[in-house]
């Protein structure tokens, strides 16, 4: 276990079984602070399960997860949020019967933020500034259920930025099914938050051009195991990766 | 700040206090029962409307408050004014355990589990003849020496104003955000840092507490408790009230409870046929106006304003 302060997140021999099915097997990852890491792999390779394990929605069958050298795999998702981990979902999970602005306020007012709720006007201003940043400001009073799929994706991403301190942002297929304009807003917000606030991102994506533009390194997951790690160009030439994608 | 709130509550109370001046004894009684249902419907709306936990045991918590208070008063000589809060607290405590038991249940499973709890409680009341007098009903001491509905009206009104105000404070605070977030997507709420376990339990406790208080006071007003109060019909009427008024709105259950109770009185001579009519009304509402009377009002209001301006 690294304690040199450079590693933000580490998983050690992480395993998740659903009955007889092994979704994640002995998976060890190490993510540096400030990194944008891509997680790629064929469908059903265990990427989303990995996100669920790190964010706490699933309990690991075996193995350990460390954030800043502290073991976190026994913590509930809301406590992990308090430690600085936030996530998005492949199918955007917004609060449909709440307005866009109310959606933004939920994480900032939540238990994970201690007594931050006492600074309500300040939180509202922060939310409005973020909505401006992701070009949803004109919709702040609209119910989330009236937004398009792409706008909901933007909203759930912007909502995550409301958490303080935010250390690790897990994104599950943030570019799936969104139009090029929204994709570009999402990319810009990831880059800006990484650059300006030093937030570390772990991005699961099938969208290789976006992964290439954003990610410093990628980890290739296949059948629940990490089969390669490096830049996208490096892993693209590894025979095991080619075989995982093409089959054999 | 607290002073302003007290003045506001006092003003609301003073505004509603003269209502019985225009009513006869019987209709004052109807208003009293309406106020009981206002507390019941509003507190059920907390859990079902705001938090999305479709509990079908709310009427059982009212009966629990009623029987607890009555039995304590009868057997231990506890003053009624102490018995009522004890009834509320016990209902709240049982609400905590039921909420804990049902934490992982959603939708139909939660409904079934809570309904099973209510039915078990009803059967226990029926079978515990020695203590509860079973289906014969338990005579309960009344709170006031006078049987006049007018005097009870002022206490019911106080209870309703305080109860609704406390519920309003909850839904308009950050807890209201948590409740609505849990209702819309519990997994997302959890991932956004909301302690969903804690707040679901909290809402179960608050909601059951107010049901217990209302039930205990109702028992000491009517002077009789029986397992009939835990029949599913009683729960159904609460659901009808909330849906008719407007689920997920604060005013909806208040309007719906008064409307349905009054309508129920006007249709009394039709007996159980009323339930068929109410059920039909809910089906129509679900088809044409899911937001209930509050939603209808919100849609009509702008048109009405425009018409008046012309």
pLDDT confidence band for A2 (50 / 70 / 90): very low
Please say which residue of B230, B245, B267 terminates a domain: B230
Task: Give the helix/strand (H/E) hosting B252.
Answer: helix B251-266
Q: Residue B83 — pLDDT band, cuts 50, 70, 90?
A: very high
Q: B241 and B212 share a domain? A: no
Cα distance from B248 to chain A (closest Cα, Å)?
10
pLDDT of residue B272: 79
Which pLDDT belongs to residue B1?
A: 58
Q: Is A50 left (phi over 0), alpha (psi -120 to 50) or beta?
A: alpha
pLDDT, position B213 = 97
CB contact under 8 Å between B187 and A57, yes or no, is: yes
Q: Is the pLDDT of residue A19 over 70?
A: yes
Kindly report the nearest CA distance between residue A233 and chain B, in angstroms.
Answer: 33
Average the pLDDT over A127-149 and give the result: 92
**pLDDT classification of A1: cutoffs 50, 70, 90:** very low
Structure tokens, A60: 């690991």
C-beta of residue B84 within 8 angstroms of C-beta of residue B216: yes
Tally of domains within chain B = 2
Domain, as residue range, for B275 = 231-310
What is the share, in percent, of chain B residues with pLDDT greater than 90?
A: 61
Percentage above 90 pLDDT, chain A = 63
Q: Mean pLDDT throughout A138-159?
A: 93
Which residues of chain A does B103 touch, with a Cβ-Cβ cutoff of 8 Å?
Answer: none
* pLDDT above 80: residue A150: yes
| B97-114 mean pLDDT | 86
Same domain, yes or no: B241 and B140: no
- Chain A hits for B189, CB-CB cut-off 8 Å, are 95, 106
Whether residues B224 and B236 fall in one domain: no
Which residue of chain A has the CA closest to B188?
Answer: A93
Concatenate the DSSP letters of all residues of chain A into one string: ---SSSEEEEEEEEEEEETTEEEEEEEEEEEETT-EEEEE-STTSSHHHHHHHHHTSS--SEEEEEETTEE-TTS-HHHHHHTTEEE--SS----TTSBHHHHHHHHHHSGGGGGGGGGHHHHHHHHHHHHHHTT-GGGTTSBGGGS-HHHHHHHHHHHHTTSSS--EEEEESTTTT--HHHHHHHHHHHHHHHHHH--EEEEE-S-HHHHHHH-SEEEEEETTEEEEEE-HHHHHT-HHHHHHHH--
With CA atoms as reference, the chain A residue closest to B198 would be A111
In angstroms, the separation between the Cα of residue B199 and the nearest Cα of chain A is 10
Question: ipTM strictly over 0.85?
Answer: yes
The Cα A172–Cα A142 span in angstroms is 25
Is the predicted pLDDT of residue A117 greater than 80, yes or no?
no
Residue A33 C-alpha, separation from nearest chain B C-alpha, in angstroms: 21
What is the least distance, in Å, from the CA of A105 to any CA of chain B? 8
B242 with B263, same domain: the answer is yes
Read off the CATH number of the domain in which A142 is found.
3.40.50.300
pTM: 0.88
- Say whether both B182 and B241 belong to one domain: no
Please check whether residues B132 and B226 belong to one and the same domain.
Answer: yes
Answer yes or no: do A78 and B174 touch at CB < 8 A: no
Q: Using the 8-state DSSP alphabet, how is residue B172 labeled?
A: T
Which of A229-243, B77-91, B194-208, B256-270 comes out lowest in average pLDDT?
A229-243
Residues in B touching A111 (Cβ below 8 Å): 193-195, 198
Same domain flag for B216 and B254? no
Residues of A with CB under 8 A from a CB of B: 55, 57, 76-78, 81-82, 86-87, 89, 93-98, 102, 105-107, 109-113, 117, 156, 159-160, 163
Examine the fold and report which residue of B230, B252, B282 is the final residue of a domain before the chain moves on. Answer: B230
Closest CA to B215 of B22, B79, B43: B43
**A178-182, B100-104, B112-116, B180-184: range with lowest mean pLDDT:** B100-104
Q: What is the mean pLDDT of residues B306-310?
A: 80
Sheet of strand A7-18, all strands in order from the earlier edge strand to the far edge: A21-32, A7-18, A62-67, A70-71
Per-residue pLDDT band at A131 (split at 50, 70, 90): very high
- For A114, the domain range is 7-246
Inter-residue contact B137 to B82 (CB < 8 Å):
no
**Is residue A1, in this structure, part of any structural domain at all?**
no
Using a CB-CB cut-off of 8 Å, the residues of chain A touching B184 are 94-98
Q: Min CA distance, A162 vs chain B (Å)?
A: 9
Region B48-54 average pLDDT: 92
Q: Looking at the structure, tell me whether residues B27 and B121 fall in a common domain.
A: yes
Are residues B105 and B70 both part of a single domain?
A: yes
Structure tokens at B201: 């339990």
Least CB–CB distance from B193: residue in A89, A102, A113: A113
Flag whether pLDDT at B298 surpasses 50.
yes
Would you call A95 and B187 a contact, using CB atoms and an 8 Å cutoff? no
pLDDT at residue A5 in the model = 52
Under DSSP, the state recorded for B138 is: E
Q: Which residues of B touch A81 (CB under 8 A)?
A: 191-193
Domain boundary among B170, B204, B230: B230
Task: Assign A241 a pLDDT band (cuts: 50, 70, 90).
Answer: confident
* Range scoring the smallest mean pLDDT among A47-61, B24-38, B80-94, B285-299: B285-299
Q: Are residues B241 and B217 in the same domain?
A: no
pLDDT tens-digit map of B138-162: 899 988 888 788 899 999 999 999 9
Note whether residue A94 is domain-resident. Answer: yes
The pLDDT, as a whole number, for residue A3 is 42
Do B187 and B215 fall within a single domain?
Answer: yes
Number of domains in chain A: 1
Interval B244-295: pLDDT, tens? 998 889 999 999 999 999 988 888 888 878 888 888 888 888 888 888 888 8
| B98 plus B166 within the same structural domain | yes
pLDDT at B210 over 90: yes
Give B174's contacts in chain A (Cβ within 8 Å).
Answer: 109, 117
Among chain B residues, the shortest Cα distance to A83 is held by B193
Length of chain A as a residue count: 248
Q: What is the mean pLDDT of chain B?
A: 90
Q: Which of B191, B194, B201, B291 has the highest number of chain A CBs within 10 A, making it the mutation to test binding with A? A: B191
**Does the beta-carbon distance from A86 to B195 stay under 8 Å?**
no
Q: How confident is the model at residue A59 (pLDDT cuts 50, 70, 90)?
A: very high
* Percentage of residues of chain B with pLDDT beyond 70: 99
pLDDT value at position A248? Answer: 53
């Amino acid at each position: 276990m690294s304690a040199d302060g450079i590693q933000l997140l580490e998983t050690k021999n992480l395993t998740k079984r659903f009955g007889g099915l092994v979704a994640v097997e002995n998976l060890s990852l190490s993510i540096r602070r400030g990194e944008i890491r891509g997680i790629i792999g064929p469908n059903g390779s265990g990427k989303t399960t990995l996100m669920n394990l790190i964010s706490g929605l699933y309990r690991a069958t075996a193995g350990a997860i460390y954030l800043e050298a502290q073991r976190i795999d026994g913590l509930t998702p809301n406590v992990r949020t308090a430690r600085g981990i936030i996530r998005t979902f492949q199918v955007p999970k917004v609060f449909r019967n709440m307005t866009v602005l109310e959606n933004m306020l939920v994480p900032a007012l939540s238990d994970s933020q201690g007594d931050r709720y006492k600074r309500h006007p300040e939180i509202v201003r922060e939310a409005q500034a973020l909505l401006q940043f992701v070009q949803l400001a004109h919709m702040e009073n609209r119910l989330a259920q009236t937004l398009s799929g792409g706008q909901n994706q933007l909203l759930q991403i912007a909502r995550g930025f409301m958490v303080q301190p935010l250390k690790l942002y897990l994104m599950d297929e943030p570019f799936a099914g969104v139009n090029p304009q929204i994709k570009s807003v999402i990319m810009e917000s990831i880059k800006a938050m990484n650059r300006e606030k030093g937030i570390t991102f772990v991005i699961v994506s099938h969208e290789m051009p976006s992964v290439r533009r954003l990610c410093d390194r990628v980890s290739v997951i296949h059948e629940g195991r990490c089969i390669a790690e490096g830049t996208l160009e490096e892993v693209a030439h590894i025979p095991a990766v080619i075989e995982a994608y093409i089959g054999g | 700040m607290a002073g302003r709130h007290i003045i506001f509550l006092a003003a609301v109370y003073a505004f509603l206090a003269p209502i019985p001046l225009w009513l006869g004894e019987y209709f004052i009684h109807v208003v009293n029962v309406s106020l009981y249902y206002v507390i019941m419907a509003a507190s059920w709306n907390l859990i079902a409307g705001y938090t999305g936990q479709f509990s079908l045991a709310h009427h059982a918590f009212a009966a629990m408050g009623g029987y607890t208070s009555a039995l304590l008063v009868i057997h231990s000589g506890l003053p009624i004014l102490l018995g009522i809060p004890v009834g509320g607290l016990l209902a709240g405590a049982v609400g905590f355990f039921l909420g804990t038991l049902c934490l992982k249940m959603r939708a139909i499973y939660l409904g079934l589990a809570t309904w099973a709890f209510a039915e078990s409680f009803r059967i226990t009341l029926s079978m515990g003849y020695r203590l509860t007098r079973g289906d014969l009903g338990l005579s309960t001491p009344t709170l006031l020496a006078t049987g006049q509905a007018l005097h009870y009206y002022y206490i019911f009104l106080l209870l309703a104003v305080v109860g609704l105000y406390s519920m309003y404070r909850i839904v308009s605070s950050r807890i209201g955000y948590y409740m609505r977030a849990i209702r819309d997507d519990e997994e997302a709420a959890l991932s956004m840092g909301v302690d969903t376990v804690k707040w679901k339990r909290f809402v179960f406790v608050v909601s059951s507490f107010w049901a217990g208080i209302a039930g205990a006071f109702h028992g000491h007003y009517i002077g009789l408790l029986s397992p009939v109060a835990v029949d599913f019909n009683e729960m159904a009427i609460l659901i009808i009230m909330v849906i008719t008024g407007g689920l997920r709105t604060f005013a909806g259950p208040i309007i719906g409870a008064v409307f349905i109770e009054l309508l129920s009185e006007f249709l009394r001579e039709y007996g159980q046929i009323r339930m068929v009519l109410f059920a039909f009304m809910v089906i129509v509402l679900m088809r044409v106006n899911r937001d209930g009377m509050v939603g209808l009002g919100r849609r009509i209001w702008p048109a009405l304003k425009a018409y008046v301006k012309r």
